Amino acid sequence: MQLEVTGQNVEITQALRAYIAEKCERLERHFDNLISTHWVLRLEKLEHTAEATVHVGGRTNPIHADAMAEDMYAAIDALIDKLDRQVRRHKDKVTDHHRAPNRAAQVG
């Protein structure tokens, strides 16, 4: 998955980029058809905002979420929780839950 991180009024450090990459592995664990993720981290006065857009294969509209907290790492954690919930919901929609009828049960 391609990962792009930009910051507005925030310097994107290697530690912050590594933390985001580690958290994105959680999304890939649930659904492996993720194409790219674009993160925007911003600082406005005392409020840290993280927002992300995830492009999923086979879906025209990307998944988007945002979160705010007093700490950037807390905002990233809250955002990952929201994205994880949306990715799992999307996976449930595209997964075929109808199982083929059991032939052995019909014969007997």
Q: Is the pLDDT of residue 108 over 60?
A: no
Q: What is the CATH number of the domain that holds 20?
A: 3.30.160.100
Q: What is the 3-state secondary structure (H, E, C) of 2-24?
A: EEEEEEECCCCCHHHHHHHHHHH
Q: Which amino acid is at 33?
A: N
This prediction's pTM: 0.82
Does residue 71 fall inside a structural domain?
A: yes
| pLDDT of res. 15 | 94
| pLDDT of res. 32 | 78
DSSP state of 108: -
What's the total number of domains in the chain? 1
Tell me which residue of 49, 52, 53 sits closest to 74, measured CA to CA: 49
Better-predicted residue by pLDDT, 44 or 96: 44
Q: Which pLDDT tens digit goes with each residue over 28-43?
A: 887 778 888 999 999 9
Does residue 108 fall inside a structural domain?
A: no
Task: Look up the domain containing 66 and give its range.
Answer: 2-95
Contact of 70 with 85, CB cutoff 8 Å:
no
Task: Please give the structure tokens belonging to residue 35.
Answer: 């194409």
Better-predicted residue by pLDDT, 101 or 27: 27
Q: Which pLDDT tens digit goes with each residue over 40-76?
A: 999 998 899 999 999 988 767 899 999 999 999 999 9
Does residue 91 fall inside a structural domain?
A: yes
Does residue 106 fall inside a structural domain?
A: no
DSSP state of 70: S
